[in-house]
Amino acid sequence: MSKTFPEDFSWGVATSSYQIEGAATEGGRGESIWDRFSHTPGKVLNGDTGDIACNHYHLYRDDVKLMGELGVLAYRFSIAWSRVIPDGKGEVNQAGLDFYDRLVNSLLSEGIEPFATLYHWDLPQALYEEGGWLNRTTADYFAYYADVISRRLGDRVHHWMTFNEPLCVAILGHVSGEHAPGHKDSTFGEATQVNHHVYLAHGKAIPVLRANSGPTCQIGIVLNMSPIHPATNSAADVAAAYRADGLSNRWFADPIFKGEYPTDMLALFGECGPKIEPGDMEIISTPIDMLGLNYYTRNVIADAPDDPGIIKTRNVHIEPAEYTTMGWEVYPDGLYELLVRVQRDYHPAAIYITENGCASADELDKAGKVHDEQRVNYLRSHFEAAHRALKDGVSLKGYFVWSFMDNFEWNWGYDRRFGIVYIDFATQQRTPKDSFHFYQRVIRDNALPGA
Ligand code: GCO
């Protein structure tokens, strides 16, 4: 078998709190900005909300058992801040802490390593009402929350991710308004400030987590970076692709690894750049132990001189190419390209693919099976790309498939299915799809089938 993975490779699956837990008003949980947003008419397709989602809050034992059958060595989940501290900054909700405590213990009893993400977009609504991520003090509240959760779980959780996809927090939340809190500010003035505060929060949480979780714990952040290709070789498209790369990749990776924002982007944002106080960049670039990368697709970019925005780019669809039901191109080479680039430009001590997967039009057939051939092919080709990157020296330590089960896909509600386990949302019945069985075999062999 030539396509064998390293012996200690962490095969895993990923989810996030608001997308799966449900029990939105149970166990003392406080409201989050995603509760408010999803309950606002017109924000989420079909008016779906995460009120019940996969009811994982109640069914977590079954879910963890199924993960055990799958054979994963690691599980990436997120903690709902408002379940642990309902108003985000005050009293601790013991019932919320107890839930994550039970979850972690059941993972450990299946031999599954917990990878906890502290923030997967569900800011406590009470903090939003004090300005949310536009308020610099939110970074201190985040450090307090990191302290509370790691005091309780730090003896058993050794892998911590502070934030998931700050790009989405800043840009989907504060430029396009597709995500909570739904602000539309095309100057990027809000987005750059929000991101700066998120990054301060990240930096402030690192020593706290380390103090509570021991010197050998692994701490990182999860970025969604993607290769950006110019639509043509014209100078205008090449320059446009560089701007898009600045916005989606360098803006997020440079502060963490180099302690600075890219100067071309600062120039582009002008007055709408972040307000940086002395010492901020040192906090933001506090060394991390691992980088999580979420990869789904590449972006093909053309110049858009007439666009009223400041970036002046547009995404181009290349034909013929395969697309998923998200409208995202299937482009496994992009994963290889991204891994090699990140290793070369940023030298992270360890890289994990913290999300990779695809949304398909899955159906449960009469025999009770889900033949998700597109997802099987998608995963196989992306595993191959990761294997190539490993062979070429990338310090890739693990791979988390997004997602363990179908769930609340943000503004797309339950209309888009990313799971390797099918969820019947009316009955909460879980059905492993063909991709589950494919992945089970990859994990068992620690190698790609037929390789
Ligand atoms: C993400 C999101 C996931 C999405 C997935 C598919 O981190 O982008 O973490 O929550 O469901 O990416 O869009």
**Closest atom of ligand 1 to CA, residue 164:** 7
Residue nearest to atom 9 of ligand 1 (CA): 164
Percentage with pLDDT > 90 across the chain: 98
pLDDT at residue 320, as a whole number: 87
Residue 43 clears pLDDT 70, i.e. is over it: yes
Question: Among this protein's residues, is 165 annotated catalytic?
Answer: yes
What is the average pLDDT across 124-140? 98
Residue nearest to atom 11 of ligand 1 (CA): 409
What is the average pLDDT across 284-312? 97
Residue pair 23/392 in contact (Cβ under 8 Å)? The answer is: no
Residue nearest to atom 8 of ligand 1 (CA): 165
Residue 236 clears pLDDT 90, i.e. is over it: yes
**Closest atom of ligand 1 to CA, residue 410:** 11
3-state helix/strand/coil string of the chain: CCCECCCCCEEEEECCHHHHCCCCCCCCCCCEHHHHHHCCCCCCHHHCCCCCCCCHHHHHHHHHHHHHHHCCCEEEEECCHHHHCCCCCCCCCHHHHHHHHHHHHHHHHCCCEEEEEEECCCCEHHHHCCCHHHCCCHHHHHHHHHHHHHHHHCCCCCEEEEEECHHHHHHHHHCCCCCCCCCCCCCCHHHHHHHHHHHHHHHHHHHHHHHHHCCCCEEEEEECCCCEEECCCCHHHHHHHHHHHHHHHHHHHHHHHHCCCCHHHHHHHHHHCCCCCCCHHHHHCCCCCEEEEECCCCEEEEECCCCCCCCCEEECCCCCCCECCCCCECCCHHHHHHHHHHHHHHCCCCEEEEECCCCECCCCCCCCCCCCHHHHHHHHHHHHHHHHHHHCCCCEEEEEEECCECCCCHHHHHHCECCCEEEECCCCEEEECHHHHHHHHHHHHCECCCC
What is the average pLDDT across 207-235? 97
What is the average pLDDT across 405-411? 98
Q: Which residues line ligand 1 (CB under 6 A)?
A: 16, 19, 164-165, 168, 224, 294, 355, 402, 409, 418
Residue 451 clears pLDDT 60, i.e. is over it: no
**Closest atom of ligand 1 to CA, residue 296:** 12
Q: Annotated catalytic residue: which of 21, 31, 113, 165? A: 165
Residue 2 clears pLDDT 90, i.e. is over it: no
Binned at pLDDT 50, 70 and 90, residue 318 comes out as confident
Q: How far is the CA of 295 from the centre of ligand 1 (A)?
A: 10
Q: How far is the CA of 61 from the centre of ligand 1 (A)?
A: 23
Distances (CA, A) of 116 to 103, 150, 433: 11, 10, 25
What is the average pLDDT across 162-168? 98
Binned at pLDDT 50, 70 and 90, residue 450 comes out as confident
Q: How far is the CA of 120 from the centre of ligand 1 (A)?
A: 9
Question: Among this protein's residues, is 363 annotated catalytic?
Answer: no
What is the average pLDDT across 419-424? 98
Q: Annotated catalytic residue: which of 21, 113, 190, 355? A: 355
Q: How far is the CA of 163 from the centre of ligand 1 (A)?
A: 12
Residue pair 297/330 in contact (Cβ under 8 Å)? The answer is: yes
pLDDT tens-digit series, residues 74-123: 999 999 999 999 999 999 999 999 999 999 999 999 999 999 999 999 99
Residue nearest to atom 4 of ligand 1 (CA): 409
Q: How far is the CA of 324 from the centre of ligand 1 (A)?
A: 14
What is the average pLDDT across 384-392? 98
Residue 1 clears pLDDT 90, i.e. is over it: no
pLDDT at residue 56, as a whole number: 99
What is the average pLDDT across 141-163? 98
Q: Which residue has the higher pLDDT, 318 or 232?
A: 232
Q: How far is the CA of 215 from the centre of ligand 1 (A)?
A: 30
Q: How far apart are CA 359 and CA 370, in angstroms?
A: 13
**Closest atom of ligand 1 to CA, residue 120:** 9
